[in-house]
Amino acid sequence: MTEDKHIKEQKIVDQLSGTFQNLTGKVKRERRVEVSVEKKLIPSVLSYVKDQLTFTHMSHMSCVDWLEDEHFELVYILWSPELKVQLLVKTLINRENPVIENVDMIWGQLNTYQREIREMYGIQFTGLEGREEFVLEDWDEMPPMRRDFDTAEYIKDVFFERPGRDGAKDVREVIATRSGEEIPELAKKYSRD
């Protein structure tokens, strides 16, 4: 069924997995292909898809923090104007020592994305040029987009908070008592103390 419907997408997956070892790819849906590779293959896969498979447009690059599995996942999102297919190239990197090759010679705009990821997640790109500081100023804590960075704890230490009105009521409780309902267990953690 998939093979009949998504011919051009399946062709891309076949071509990539024929060229590179240890590359797993699948067709997500029409016009969307996803491939996962090892991190040392990233420069060659990216330049191959750019030169050979017409994925000339670099749409975005993002990072996912898989805290429980102890790795970061980098996602390079590419678009082919000719094939009209979006390609997601994914790779996993170690959370303890996050280092990956810099690839901004393939697309110049990757420089900006990589600098942002370096600042927000603390991932080091070997050979990446540009100022260490990107958006944040004088930041000396853990990179703030990492999931083990406790924002609530941090703002309690650094910023002032308005204490709020005396006798302020909890909205959920007021509505629940008025309508005679019970607050579900999952919503209780959002209630006031």
Does 168 bind another protein (CB under 8 A)? Our answer is no
Distance CA 18, CA 23 (A): 9
User: Which residues are within 8 A (CB) of 170 and not within 5 positions of it... i.e. 6 or more apart?
Assistant: 191, 192
Q: Is 152 in the site for another protein (CB under 8 A)?
A: yes
Of 45-53, 107-115, 135-143, 171-179: span binding another protein (CB under 8 A): 135-143
Q: What is the DSSP pairing of strand 71-80 with strand 124-126?
A: unpaired
Q: Contact between 159 and another protein (CB under 8 A)?
A: yes
> Cβ neighbours of residue 100 under 8 Å, at least 6 residues apart?
39, 42, 74, 91, 93, 123, 124, 125, 126
Give the number of other Cβ atoms within 10 Å of residue 76's Cβ: 25
Distance of closest approach, residue 138 Cβ to another protein, in angstroms: 4
* Number of residues in contact with another protein under rule CB under 8 A: 15
Q: Which of 64, 67, 136, 175 binds another protein (CB under 8 A)?
A: 136
Phi and psi (nearest 5°) for 22? 50, 35
Q: Does 154 bind another protein (CB under 8 A)?
A: yes
Q: Minimum CB separation from another protein for residue 189, in Å?
A: 15
144, 146, 176, 183: which one binds another protein (CB under 8 A): 144
Contact residues for another protein (CB under 8 A)? 136-138, 140, 144, 149, 151-152, 154-155, 158-162
